[in-house]
Chains A and B, each alone.
Chain A
Amino acid sequence: MKIYLRRQLNLLEFTLSSLLRRKGKNLALLVVFSAIVFMLASALLYSHALRREAAILLKDAPELVIQKMVGGRHDLLPQANLAKLAEVRGITQIHGRLWGYLFDPIAAANYTVMVPQTNPPEPGFAIIGEGISGARGAEPGDQLSFKSHDGGLLTFRVAQVIAYESALATSDLFLVNEDDYRRLYGIAPGLFTDAVAKVRNPREVGKAAEKIAELLPDSRIVLRDEILRTYESVFDWREGLLLVLLTGAVLAFAIFAWEKASGLSAEERREIGILKAVGWETGDILLMKMWEGGVMSLSAFLIGYLLAYLHVFYLGAPLFEPVLKGWATMYPAFRPTPFIDGFQVATLLILTVLPYLAATVVPIWRAAIIDPDQVMR
Chain B
Amino acid sequence: MAKRKSVLVLAALGAGFLLFGGSLIDAAWKRDAAMARMEAASKWVERLELTDLVLFTEARYTRNLALADRFSAFQDHPMAFEHFPSGSVALPPRHLTRAP
Chain A positions within 8 Å of B, measured between CB atoms, are 9-10, 12-13, 16-17, 20, 53-54, 56-62, 65, 67, 73-76, 97, 99-101, 103, 109-110, 112, 114, 116-118, 129, 131, 162-163, 165-173, 175, 193-194, 196, 209-210, 213, 220-224, 226-227, 230-231, 233-234, 237-238, 241, 295, 298-299, 302-303, 305-306, 309, 313, 324, 326-332, 337-340
Contact = CB atoms under 8 A, between A and B. Distances in A.
Contacts of B27: 309, 313, 338-340
A165 B44 CA distance: 11
Contacts of B9: 12, 16, 295
A169 B54 contact: yes
Interface string B80-99: 00011110111101111000
Interface of B: 4-7, 9-10, 12-13, 16-17, 19-20, 23-24, 26-27, 30-31, 34, 36-38, 40-59, 63-74, 79, 83-86, 88-91, 93-96
A341 to B, nearest CB: 11
B53 A67 contact: no
Contact of B53 (A58, A131, A210): A58
Contact of A9 (B6, B71, B79): B6
Contact of A110 (B17, B49, B55, B57): B57
Nearest to A217: B100
A348 B60 CA distance: 35
B74 to A, nearest CB: 7
Given A110-B73, A302-B20, A306-B23, A53 B38 contact: yes
A154 B41 CA distance: 29
A306 B12 CA distance: 13
B10 A101 contact: no
A323 to B, nearest CB: 11
A302 B16 contact: yes
Given A67-B67, A222-B51, A338-B31, A165 B36 contact: yes
A59 B93 contact: no
A162 B13 CA distance: 46
Contacts of A227: 51-52, 65-66
B30 to A, nearest CB: 5
Of A61, A241, A329, A339, most buried by chain B (CB within 10 Å of CB) is A61
